[in-house]
């Protein structure tokens, strides 16, 4: 690891190698085996969902979701511009149009008050993103969706084990999508999952998941032929990936607790800087809990952010900005449209400084906090 502080150190526990070796020794390498079943069971038990499906990535889960939403060319999907490209690219692959709306200035989540004005007769769904593991205002969002007869998909890539009014993120809309990328709290290197509480979606999802075939019904003896019945793709991860993930999920709550300890340390350390107007710390509404996925500060300007990143790098600390808003990206301008000006989104990108956060940081968190304070004090 060297003398510096890296931005992310993927956590590996005691059983990952054991489970991966077991899968390989059994020659169980194809997807949907015993470790996939373990992961599905964990997701259903801990999230309270009807059905869960491991995928190769959260991108794959989002692409599955667009099929399950029956997106077609010409449809529109309302979403925040401040998100990773996968939220929008999954929509574009179905020929639909992402409609980018503003985020809130406090949580940087989609501004629920901006959704309804962006809805047109072509709108088929709302895709929300729980930024930094802090859930969106789902009651208002679901009410809007119900009024217009459209679906809600949660991009909960960052929000495993976060809650909104005591309900798990990813279970608050029609479909939830999670990420187990190496940058996430719980990781299988690459990986994701789609979950749902809706019976009709739970019945169709296995077909979409299995390349558009009725393979699962056939394997269970519920169909006499194994054949193509719907659109779909090869979304299953290998059993080796599932074995790695199963070991991580077993200690997901402990991982979350550790990350929250660092998040809370940072939050206390930067309180004085916020009081003095030097930074703005993350906002967590009282009716939600988050999972300590990432910690960021909003500084004065893009110049201040870039200067801080450079000065922290000079002392061996990796810190970064975050998403380039999709509405201002080349592909976003080509394939989507913005529902009016998005100044809060633009300013968030310019001012946001992400800090290192990983399991077992210990004294490294103090090193980061001290360095950040020194850098911003000088500024």
Angle subtended at Cα 138 by Cα 79 and Cα 108, rounded to the nearest 5 degrees? 55
pLDDT classification of 1: cutoffs 50, 70, 90: very low
- Quote the pTM value: 0.95
pLDDT classification of 226: cutoffs 50, 70, 90: confident
Cα separation, 257 vs 217, in Å, equals: 39
The per-residue DSSP string of 207-239 comes to HHHBTTB-HHHHHTTS-SS--B-S---B-PPPH
Cα separation, 120 vs 77, in Å, equals: 10
Query: What's the whole-number mean pLDDT along residues 101-111?
Result: 98
Query: What's the whole-number mean pLDDT along residues 293-319?
Result: 97
Query: What's the whole-number mean pLDDT along residues 164-171?
Result: 98
Looking up tokens 């997701």, which residue turns up? 43
Cα separation, 316 vs 3, in Å, equals: 7
Q: Which of 105-109, 205-209, 219-223, 342-346 has the lowest mean pLDDT?
A: 219-223
Token couple for 53:
């499906």
pLDDT classification of 255: cutoffs 50, 70, 90: very high
160 has pLDDT over 90: yes
Within 10-156, strands assigned E span: 51-55, 76-80, 97-101, 123-129, 151-155
pLDDT in tens, 339-350: 999 999 999 999
Element (DSSP H or E) covering residue 175: strand 175-179
Give percent of the chain above pLDDT 70: 99
Tell me what pLDDT residue 3 has: 63
Instruction: List the domains of the chain with CATH numbers.
Output: 16-250 (3.40.640.10), 252-378 (3.90.1150.10)
> What average pLDDT does the structure give for the chain?
96
- The answer to whether 156 and 177 are in contact (CB under 8 A) is yes
3-class DSSP state of 319: coil
Tell me what pLDDT residue 28 has: 87
pLDDT in tens, 124-141: 999 999 999 999 999 999
Cα separation, 337 vs 326, in Å, equals: 9
Give percent of the chain above pLDDT 90: 94
Cα separation, 332 vs 339, in Å, equals: 12
Residue 49, judged by CB atoms within 10 A of its CB (0-12, 13-18, 19+), counts as buried
pLDDT in tens, 50-100: 999 999 999 999 999 999 999 999 999 999 999 999 999 999 999 999 999
């Amino acid at each position: 690891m060297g003398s510096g502080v890296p931005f992310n150190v993927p956590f590996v526990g005691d059983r990952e190698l054991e489970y991966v070796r077991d899968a390989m020794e059994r020659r169980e390498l194809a997807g949907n085996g015993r470790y996939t079943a373990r992961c599905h069971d964990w997701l259903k038990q801990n999230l309270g969902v009807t059905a869960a499906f491991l995928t190769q990535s959260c991108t794959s889960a989002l692409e599955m979701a667009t099929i399950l939403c029956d997106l077609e060319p010409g449809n529109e999907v309302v979403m925040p511009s401040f998100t990773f490209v996968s939220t929008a690219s999954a929509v574009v692959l179905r020929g639909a149009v992402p409609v980018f709306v503003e985020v809130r200035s406090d949580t940087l989540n989609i501004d629920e008050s901006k959704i309804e004005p962006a809805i047109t007769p072509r709108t088929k769904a709302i895709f929300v993103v729980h930024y930094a593991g802090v859930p969106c205002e789902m009651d208002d969002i679901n009410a809007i969706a119900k009024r217009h007869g459209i679906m809600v998909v949660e991009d909960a890539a960052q929000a495993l084990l976060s809650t909104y009014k005591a309900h798990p993120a990813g279970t608050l809309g029609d479909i939830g999508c999670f990420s187990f990328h190496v940058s996430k709290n719980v990781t299988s290197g690459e990986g994701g999952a789609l979950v749902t509480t809706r019976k009709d979606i739970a019945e169709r999802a296995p077909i979409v998941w299995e390349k558009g075939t009725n393979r699962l019904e056939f394997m269970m003896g519920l169909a006499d032929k194994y054949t193509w019945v719907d659109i779909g793709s090869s979304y299953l991860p290998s059993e080796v990936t599932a074995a790695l993930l199963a070991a991580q999920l077993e200690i997901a709550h402990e991982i979350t607790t550790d990350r929250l300890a660092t998040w809370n340390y940072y939050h206390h350390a930067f309180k004085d800087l916020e009081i003095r107007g030097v930074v703005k710390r993350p906002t967590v509404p009282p009716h939600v809990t988050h999972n300590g996925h990432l910690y960021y500060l909003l500084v004065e300007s893009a110049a201040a952010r870039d200067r801080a990143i450079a000065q922290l790098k000079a002392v061996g600390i990796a810190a970064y900005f975050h998403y380039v808003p999709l509405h201002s990206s080349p592909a976003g301008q080509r394939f989507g449209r913005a529902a009016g000006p998005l100044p809060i989104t633009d300013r968030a990108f310019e001012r946001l400084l992400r800090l290192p956060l990983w399991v077992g940081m210990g004294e490294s968190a103090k090193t980061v906090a001290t360095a950040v304070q020194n850098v911003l004090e000088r500024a």
